Chains A and B, each alone.
Chain A
Amino acid sequence: MTAIHREPRAIEIGEAALAEMRELAPSLVFAMIVTDDGFELAHAPQKTIDGGRFGSMTSSVQALSEAVSRELRIGASSYVVIAAENGHVLQQRVPGQSLILASLFDNHETLGKALSISRRCVEKLSAELAPHNLQGFPGSTTHP
């Protein structure tokens, strides 16, 4: 069985979703869809930062945030925000998949709009990956 990040159809869907996201948010500096264990499915735009590093860090941050939610018994973590001086990073799970969308916006974007764009992207990914039965790949069924 092929892991989802090596499935050409899944990669195509991911790239299309990120392209649409870029159109909606010119302030998007970099975005990547990664597996739970940090491997890239798709990214946009063409490499402006070290994607491998970004993917691994996304995986660690997501896992830590979910460990905190579990520990505090506050339910599933919806998204993770790192608000910094010159931009913000937003992470959100793709519903029904072991995939995470991580997006870096510059500080011209409001957090609210970034969140809305990110949510739209993960919903689109979820809807488009499901009919292709791509949720059956290893590790892709553990999250709601």
Chain B
Amino acid sequence: MAEHVILFAGPMGAGKTTAIRSLSEIEMVNTEASNTERHIVDKETTTVALDYGEITLGDDEKVRLYGVPGQRRFDFMWSILKERAKGMILLINNDAPDAVALAIDYLASFRELVESGSAVVGISRRDLARTPSPDDYADALSAAYPGSLIPVFTVDPRNAGQMTTVLLTLVATLDSRVQPEAVQS
């Protein structure tokens, strides 16, 4: 069975835990702690280590879904988990201050995945903030990573169908990548 490890990254409150919960076929493993910084993000809990879920695509493709903590003070978990990841879904809540810059900032921490074309961006909470638009993100991403294609979606992390579309797009990209070994043989 082919396996992929996909990371869900992005700021606190973007919907990473919710997205994995929507997608996972197994009972999700989570490491949420009470959030004492309610004045910054009004959310009862926050992920402090990782979220974990699994989904099977087709007959023989298992995808392991890892959510990383959104807060930068937990970035040691980003380093640990990105070593294993084949791809990443960056979720950005559109109502965050300067959301496009925030997206660029987060992507910089996962540069290897972004530059290898293994990242997609999901814009969440667009019902609460209509701007910036997906085009604003696409333009900024093209400028920051010329030559890298980073698909941008508008998503509701609670919607399993939407999240599956994003995940399938990423996995298809990863599967279609030409392996150097295959070319040589």
Q: Which residues of A contact B (CB under 8 A)?
A: 3-5, 35-39, 52-53, 56-57, 59-61, 63-64, 66-67, 71, 98, 137-140, 142
Within the assembled complex, what's the spacing in Å between the Cα atoms of A137 and B73? 22
In contact, B74 and A60 (Cβ under 8 angstroms): yes
Q: Give 19 A-B contacts (CB < 8 Å), ordered by A residue.
A: A3-B38, A4-B36, A35-B34, A37-B34, A37-B37, A37-B48, A38-B33, A38-B73, A53-B73, A53-B76, A60-B48, A60-B69, A63-B49, A67-B30, A138-B34, A138-B35, A138-B36, A139-B34, A142-B34
Within the assembled complex, what's the spacing in Å between the Cα atoms of A141 and B45? 13
Q: Which of A4, A37, A38, A67 has the most CB atoms of chain B within a 10 A radius of its CB?
A: A37
Q: How far is the CB of A105 from chain B (nearest CB, A)?
A: 22
9 closest pairs, A vs B, by CB?
A139-B34, A63-B31, A36-B33, A3-B36, A60-B49, A37-B33, A59-B48, A63-B49, A56-B73
Residue B114 CB within 8 A of the other chain:
no
Contact with A along B40-53 (1 / 0, CB 8 A): 00000110111000
Within the assembled complex, what's the spacing in Å between the Cα atoms of A122 and B141? 49
Taking A38-B73, A39-B37, A59-B33 as given, write out 11 further A-B residue pairs in contact, using a Cβ cutoff of 8 Å, ordered by the A residue number.
A36-B33, A37-B48, A38-B74, A56-B73, A59-B49, A63-B31, A63-B33, A67-B29, A67-B31, A71-B29, A98-B34
Instruction: Find chain A residues with CB under 8 A from B76 CB.
Output: 53, 56-57, 60
Closest to A57 in B: B76
Residue B115 CB within 8 A of the other chain:
no
Q: Which residues of B contact A (CB under 8 A)?
A: 29-38, 45-46, 48-50, 69, 73-74, 76-77
Pick from B29, B35, B37, B77: contact of A60, CB below 8 A. Answer: B77
In contact, A67 and B35 (Cβ under 8 angstroms): no
Within the assembled complex, what's the spacing in Å between the Cα atoms of A60 and B77? 8
Within the assembled complex, what's the spacing in Å between the Cα atoms of A10 and B73? 23
In contact, A64 and B49 (Cβ under 8 angstroms): yes
Instruction: Find chain A residues with CB under 8 A from B69 CB.
Output: 60
Instruction: Find chain A residues with CB under 8 A from B48 CB.
Output: 36-38, 56, 59-60, 63
Within the assembled complex, what's the spacing in Å between the Cα atoms of A35 and B46? 12
Q: Which of B32, B35, B37, B73 has the most CB atoms of chain A within a 10 A radius of its CB?
A: B73
Within the assembled complex, what's the spacing in Å between the Cα atoms of A137 and B34? 10
Known: A37-B48, A38-B48, A138-B38. A63 touches B32 (CB 8 A): yes
Within the assembled complex, what's the spacing in Å between the Cα atoms of A103 and B32? 22
